[in-house]
Amino acid sequence: MSLALVLCAYAMAAQPNSLLEQQRFAAPKTMTKLRTTAGTQPVLQRSRPLVASAPAANTGGASEMSSIINLSKNIVGSGVLALAGGVAAFSGVRMAIAPALMLLAFLCAVSGYAFSLIARTGQEVGANSYQDAWIKVFGERTAIIPGLTVLFKTYVGGLSYAIILGDSFKSIAMLANAPVWLCSSNTWIVLLSGLVLLPLSLMRDLSSLAIGSVLGTAGTLYTALFMWLRFFQGSYKAGGAFHEAIAESARPAFAVPGAAPLVNAKIFVLISMAATAFLAHYNAPKFYKELAEPADGSSKDAAFTRVCVSAFGIACLLCGSIMAGGFLTFGGASQGLILNSYATSDPLAFVARLGICASIIFSYPLNFVGIRDGTLNMLGLAAQAGKTSVHVTTTLVLLCLMNGLALFVKDLGLVVSIGGALLGSMLVYSFPALMFIQATRQRAKQLATTGQTLPPRRRYEMYANMGLAGLGFFLAVVGVIMSLKKAGLL
């Protein structure tokens, strides 16, 4: 089946969802609050789709197919728009896309395993969420570790939103021949922050923002299709329709094969981005809990494994297609936000920018709720969140801190790679492995009281997860160093 048919089928089957990733995170108290006020569960809008299968108590649970579609949408976020730049970070040779795709597939498989690992651990200890599983395994004293990680990851997501909005509206303004002062990304960040994002973030009932989920799904699929169309048309090659419409420094640039190593240490920039690209792990226990028991009498674990393999496979296909489409079009000139590589006069790119901007504007408040409520929880002020003075003050301060940084930080690729290395690697690789190791040790002690021992398979899996935990820490350190070097900051 062709890529276009696969993507179209995905769009037709998909429930509403957001393009951007950070909606997946919100503190547990936030989830309860929004469930009652907005009818949604923004632990990230994606964790439980706005038009989702009914809970198990009402319908027997979600089917495998609906779980596959919802999870695959939960996985793909804004980090996908930086992947082409991640390839360009380590090579400008066309053939570099081959190792990049193999690496992406490998990391997708590891991420899928870690996702199922969290669900299995949560099921074993009776947890309903990622953080709940951590608390039941390690205790309340260490709950701040995943809490802070999620809070900062959500902040990075909001920063990415602001960068994308500023760059996208700048391109739109330039196409419209707007006044010079409007052709600045900072101008749009300030205007949108004060006139649009602040009022939306102050809203207490977010149910009216569900349309952003539809726009996000449609925008991701449309972006993949338009990028490949432009590639096959050769629109940005020398002599192509839009080759002269972009700056000379932004035109496709491909290195001569053999002139430099195909792969070098800067590939860790792409590895860091991939951690964010496949980040859906905070919702693993809920996906497992809401999956219906198989009608054929097979085990639920086997059904969940099929869901994970299928969903992560679809996400890998979509992320790989956008990464390859962008890099094969622009090569070493691929920008951190790949849409910035396309001409402002390109009508298909214009539609993509509009769709992404609309999705972000509707999605931003859902992400912001996680930041605000997570901050209040950390400060011990959660009980006062209902007060207008606290609500308004924290919204103003946090929005200024987040969007204010976007006035100075413009490299989406840098934000995504550092966020993926430092935070994504922990959430995706190290934390799930550590939880499984600790839960296994606890299980071994329980069995020892009855004279039993762990099954060899469980013991060997625990040893393998010690390696996974180490891998996560290694990728975090090396990924941050290489990302900073690539940006010229080290």
Query: Of the given ranges (69-78, 279-288, 391-400), which has the lowest mean pLDDT?
Result: 69-78
Q: How confident is the model at residue 437 (pLDDT cuts 50, 70, 90)?
A: very high
The mean pLDDT value for 462-487 works out to: 89
Model confidence at 53, pLDDT cuts 50, 70, 90, reads very low
Q: Inform me whether the pLDDT recorded for 8 exceeds 80.
A: no
Mean pLDDT on 313-321: 93
Name which of 365, 420, 426, 372 is nearest 395 in CA terms.
372
* Chain mean pLDDT for the chain: 82
CA distance 312 to 72: 6
Amino acid 366: pLDDT: 79
Residues 6+ apart with CB under 8 A from 302: 294
Q: What is the mean pLDDT of residues 391-416?
A: 90
- pLDDT given for residue 60 in this prediction: 59
- By the 10 Å C-beta count (0-12 exposed, 13-18 middle, 19+ buried), 209 is classed as buried
Is 243's pLDDT higher than 70? yes
Q: Identify the pLDDT of residue 147.
A: 83
CATH number corresponding to 3-255+278-405: 1.10.4160
> Could you tell me what percent of the chain has a pLDDT over 70?
86
Confidence of residue 14 (pLDDT cuts 50, 70, 90): very low
Percentage above 90 pLDDT, the chain: 44
Going by pLDDT thresholds of 50, 70 and 90, the confidence category of residue 299 is: confident
Helix axes 347-378, 28-37, angle to 10 degrees: 110
> Domain residues of the chain, as ranges?
3-255+278-405
Mean pLDDT of 135-146: 89
Mean pLDDT of 442-455: 91
Of 288, 272, 344, 268, residue with least CA distance to 120: 288
Q: Which 8-state DSSP code applies to residue 91?
A: -
Q: Is the pLDDT score of 58 beyond 50?
A: no
In this predicted structure, the answer to whether residue 186 has a pLDDT above a threshold of 70 is yes
Note the pLDDT of residue 343.
Answer: 93
**Rounded Cα gap, residues 291 and 293, in angstroms:** 7
**How far is residue 292's CA from residue 272's CA, in Å, rounded to a whole number?**
34
pLDDT of the residue at 335: 92
Lowest-confidence pick of 185-199, 325-339, 353-367, 459-473: 353-367
Which structure tokens are listed for 339?
Answer: 């849409």
- Grouping H, G, I as helix, E, B as strand and the rest as coil, residue 359 is helix
In the three-class reduction of DSSP (H, G, I as helix; E, B as strand; rest coil), residue 80 is classed as helix
pLDDT digits (tens, 9 = 90+) for 212-237: 666 777 888 899 999 999 999 999 99
Average pLDDT over residues 368-389: 86
Instruction: Identify the band that residue 371 occupies on the pLDDT scale cut at 50, 70 and 90.
Output: confident
Token pair 């490998």 is found at 106
